[in-house]
Structure 1
Amino acid sequence: MRRRMVIKTPEGGLERLYSVVSGGMLYPRNPTGLYKWLMSSRLKLLLLCTFAIMFTFFSYDTVKRKVPRRVIRCSDSASQLFLQELCDNYTKGLASGSFCHPLCSGQVIYKQCLGHGITPHVLKASWKGNDIILKVKKVLDKNLTLNASLTESNQFDRNYFNVNTNQSYVQYILDEKGINMEILDYMYSECAGHDDGILSYQKMWYCQALLAGEFLLSILLKDSQNVPKLYGTCGHVFAVEDVPDEMLEGKFLDKRPWTTKVKLALALLDMVERLDNTPYGTLYMCDIKSENFGVLTTDSGYLIKPIDLDFSWLSSQMKQVMVKESEKWCTKDSECGFKACRSKCDHWTRHCDPDFYTNNLINICRLIFTTNARIFKFGLFDQGVPRNIQVRLSLLLQDCSTPSSEPSPPTSSSMIRDLRQILHDSINLT
């Protein structure tokens, strides 16, 4: 759409007739001299190409930031087929575990696959009227041989299991703390099964998939109220309670009432204190994001549990993880550490420091309480903070979320106390 208008120019007060296009650009109706050169075809082509490149760049950047990557989820049919094959192995005596009978006798009702990727690894089901989560661990390559000699009957004896499990898995995690016989008995009964109690090669093959990480932590911390309840195993699958994760979703946090935010924050501080003081030392959570925490409602508020312990380690194992990370070449601190567990770059050696400079409290403060701009998430305290505590809370959070200058920093009990106090005061809790 064009319209004609008269605009006065500074050139001797003369008036020229201009056309105005819908985009707002003005150009002379009868171009002469400089205007003809500006509108020449060669320059127009150059300007058009420049505009196209800029438009393409900014459009791609916007789409990359705002449109999530397409997530491939495992299909329900593949998940149900996987469970059927596992139950077939249980019937043949090739798989065992305390949860095989409920899983394979119709007591467990499959609901959906929650995992990403083609292979099922996180499934949702119901059992005894409650939702549960089935976690599938990757088994060893069948072509690999287990590091042990079998008896004449092609079985592992109990003594081998105790020694091998303690040395190969538990000692790696617990270091000098060791393990008691009660836990070894539980692990053996899960691996060998309650029916015949025989630890065959196939059962041990399944068992080694479980003993390497999250399942072992679930056993060691089974008495902690901040770890999902463990119901049992079947082959390389273990079942835990389903703890809903919607309460801490970033897109809803800014709409939560202030009282709800305070109770969630207090529950997070309680969780930090308990996981910092387990019987086996601190459990360091290195994959801290809102969707990795589940929330249960209690009479006094909320109970928060980490629902993904794949990147969580006890103290001695955490040191080994960071030593491995120190092999990285670096130029800045942000290149060092493992996920939320941050380290520093030694600018003389250009290698990462084998120590870590964050703890659970620091990571909760910087990744949950405040905005995590890197992943575009709302912080719990980004909006809705009462005016009378805004400055005090802001200063506390700034201090709380700053990585320590000292390696392996212990959680500051005074910081937790101050945070609790200001949150209690804000809603007049006693």
Structure 2
Amino acid sequence: RRILAALCQDYRGGALAGDLCEDLCVAGKLLFQRCLHYNRGKKVLQADWRGRPVVLKSKEEAFSSFPPLSLLEEEAGGGGQDIPEAELLLMVAGEVKSALGLELSNSSLGPWWPGRRGPRWRGQLASLWALLQQEEYVYFSLLQDLSPHVLPVLGSCGHFYAVEFLAAGSPHHRALFPLDRVPGAPGGGQAKAISDIALSFLDMVNHFDSDFSYRLHLCDIKPENFAIRSDFTVVAIDVDMAFFEPKMREILEQNCTDDEDCNFFDCFSRCDLRVNKCGAQRVNNNLQVICDKIFRHWFSAPLKSSAVSFQLQLQLQEAVQECADPEVPSGNTRRDTPSVFWKLRQLLQATLRELQEAEK
């Protein structure tokens, strides 16, 4: 509450702006409910927005913690009205490049354009600048219209942006994700839900590998960073550790004395001992890590449903093991990843067919 009170004070003073500020600070239609994450790192608050549960996120607690926009400092008198559009475009493109490691054309900068010049223009620019300092906001804004597997940004106020509230996964859930409301659980219903979710994870892997100009690497894969929609679509709800290929290469190319120095969370590279440098090429991939950290949990033991034949369960278990096995020929990414991907997909589809047959 204290954080939001300070935010509203800054809004009333004209220091910041955003399409959610009115609902938060004036109309009382965006109401704080509880703190989800506060101590270290980003501030994550749950709120109710016109009857809809949302999450407000920011890297910093105070608006003043973000470095101010130098163009605004220079334009102190004119409320930023005189800043040429070309300079603004350059500034936005520079920040987006810094966050994503990508050069985007001016026509692609729409999600980050501050809107029409008006009485709150200075606050709009200052707020946009604070949001652009937050990589996750930039990723969500870029990907929201391109991917069903990423949370859309619903709006913002100052340095806080709102996304849909979805219950995150957790290692404390027996199935990693809250499946209590699945019809027929814990028997066939749960086995069917897990198979559907696993297929959605595969869809997400394929999508992040193939559907953008560059591959999108996920370097922090754990249940807490994903949520499941009611139709079992997997959604990445925390992308602080997601990187497109150019930035991934930049991150991996570090000095090293052995391979362990080249592990960046879940993204691994190899140490070239001739030059003591990590290779820029990632040697594992998103699918491998998902198999290791999520699928193994589901498929290492028999599914909780006698409706799935033992032979199919065994094949699935073996395929997950093959997928998760990190042994990689030196300097190469796994060459057999596509075949493992399709094998898993076929086995999961066969599992669903058997479960559906059993329901008849």
Q: Does 1:166 align with 2:93?
A: yes
Q: 1:174 to 1:231 in 2, by over 3 A?
A: same
CA contact (8 A) 1:361 1:411 kept: no
User: Do the aligned partners of residues 412 and 381 (structure 1) sit closer, same or farther apart at CA in structure 2, a change above 3 Å counting?
Assistant: same
Tell me what 1:92 maps to: 13
TM-fit CA distance, 1:153: 2.0
Query: Could you tell me which residue of structure 1 aligns to residue 4 of structure 2?
Result: 83
Q: State whether structure 2 residue 293 is matched by structure 1 residue 367.
A: yes
In structure 1, what is the Cα distance between the partners aligned to 2:117 and 2:166?
A: 28
> How far off its partner does 1:304 sit?
0.7
SS of residue in 1 equivalent to 2:229: strand
Which AA in structure 2 matches 1:150? E
Given the superposition, is the C-alpha separation of residues 210 and 344 from structure 1 closer, same or farther in structure 2, using an over 3 Å criterion? same
**Alignment CA distance shift 1:282-1:360 (3 Å):** same
Identity %: 26
1:281 aligned partner, one-letter code = Y
Is the partner of 1:253 in helix, strand or coil?
coil
Contact 2:226 2:234 in 1 (8 A): yes
Tell me if structure 1 keeps the 8 A contact 2:300–2:317. no
Alignment check: 8 A CA contact 1:337 1:356 kept: no
Q: What is the RMSD of the two structures over their aligned residues, measured on CA atoms?
A: 3.0
Q: Following TM superposition, by how much is the alpha carbon of 1:352 offset from its aligned partner in structure 2, in angstroms? A: 2.7
What is the aligned partner in structure 2 of residue 291 from structure 1? 224
Q: Are the aligned partners of 2:209 and 2:216 in contact in 1 as well (CA < 8 Å)?
A: yes
- Is 1:239 matched up with 2:162? yes
One-letter identity of the residue aligned with 1:189: P
Partner letter of residue 10 of structure 2?
N
1:124 matched to 2:46:
yes
**Are 2:342 and 1:424 aligned?**
no
Tell me the secondary structure at the aligned position of residue 321 of structure 1. helix
CA 1:393–1:143 in structure 2 vs 1: closer, same or farther (change >3 Å)? closer
> Residues 347 and 119 from structure 1, CA distance in 2 versus in 1: closer, same or farther, beyond 3 angstroms?
closer
Q: C-alpha deviations, 1:65-88, integer Å up to 9, x for none?
A: xxxxxxxxxxxxxxx011011111
Out of 187, 212, 216, the residue aligned to residue 279 of structure 1 is 212
Query: Alignment partner for residue 270 of structure 1, among 200, 203, 210?
Result: 203
Task: Classify the secondary structure of the residue corresponding to 1:238.
Answer: strand
Distance in 2 (CA, whole Å) between partners of 1:120 and 1:342 is 25
- 1:175 corresponds to which letter in structure 2? L
Distance in 2 of aligned mates of 1:115 and 1:423: 35
Question: Which structure 2 residue ranges, 5 or more long, are not aligned?
Answer: 177-185, 304-308
Is contact 2:68–2:126 with CA below 8 Å preserved after alignment?
Answer: no
Deviation at 1:390, TM superposition (A): 4.1
Report SS of the residue matched to 1:97. coil
Offset of 1:318 from its aligned partner? 1.6
Moved more, 264-273 or 285-294: 264-273
CA–CA separation in structure 2 for the residues paired with 1:275 and 1:143:
30
SS of the residue 1:114 aligns to: strand
Classify 1:119/1:283 alpha carbon distance in 2 versus 1 (closer, same or farther; 3 Å). Answer: closer
Displacement of 1:120:
6.7
Query: Where in structure 1 are there 5+ consecutive unaligned residues?
Result: 1-79, 371-378
Larger Rg: 1
Alpha-carbon spacing, 1:222–1:194, altered in 2? closer, same or farther (3 Å): farther
Cross-structure match for 2:114: 189
Letter of the 1:339 counterpart: F
**1:105-144 matched pairs, under 5 angstroms:** 105-117=27-39, 121-138=43-60
8 A contact 1:296–1:303 mirrored in 2:
yes
Aligned equivalents of 1:285 and 1:216: distance in 2? 16
Residue 316 of structure 1 pairs with residue 271 of structure 2: no
**Residues 308 and 163 of structure 1, relative CA distance in 2, 3 Å threshold:** same
Q: Please, which moves more after superposition, 234-243 or 355-364? A: 355-364
Q: Which amino acid aligns with 1:414?
A: S
1:127 and 1:411 map into 2 onto residues whose CA distance is 46
Show the 5 A alignment for 1:24-423: 80-104=1-25, 105-117=27-39, 121-138=43-60, 146-148=69-71, 150-151=74-75, 153=78, 155=80, 156-170=83-97, 173=100, 175-176=102-103, 178-181=104-107, 183-189=108-114, 196=119, 198=121, 200=122, 204-212=125-133, 213-223=135-145, 224-246=147-169, 249-253=171-175, 257-298=190-231, 302-323=232-253, 326-327=254-255, 329-331=256-258, 333-370=259-296, 379-385=297-303, 387-403=310-326, 404-405=328-329, 406-407=331-332, 412-423=337-348
Residues of 2 paired with 1:100 and 1:141: CA distance?
17
CA contact (8 A) 1:330 1:345 kept: yes
SS of 1:93's equivalent in the other structure is coil
Cα-to-partner distance string for 1:218-251 (whole Å, 9 max, x where unaligned): 11101111111211111110000012124x6454
Superposition deviation, residue 121 in structure 1 = 0.3
Superposition deviation, residue 134 in structure 1: 0.3
Q: Which amino acid aligns with 1:222?
A: Q
CA drift at 1:335: 3.4
Q: Which string of whole-angstrom CA distances, capped at 9 and with x for unpartnered residues, describes residues 311-350 of structure 1?
A: 1112222222222xx13x333x333221111112334444
2:180 maps to none
Distance 1:390 1:162, change over 3 A: same
CA shift digits 1:70-127 (9 cap, x unpaired): xxxxxxxxxx011011111112211011121222221012110011417870000111
Partner SS for 2:210: coil
- Structure 2 length normalisation: TM-score? 0.80
Question: Structure 2 counterpart of 1:308, which letter?
Answer: D
Q: What is the distance in 2 between the residues matched to 1:118 and 1:344?
A: 31
**Structure-1-length-normalised TM-score:** 0.68
Deviates more, 1:416-425 or 1:342-351: 342-351
Residues 355/157 of structure 1: CA separation in 2 closer, same or farther (3 Å cut):
same
Relative contact order: is structure 1 or structure 2 higher (C-alpha 8 Å, sep ≥ 6)? 2
Figure out how many residues of one structure are paired with residues of the other and give that number: 329
1:388 shift after superposition: 1.2
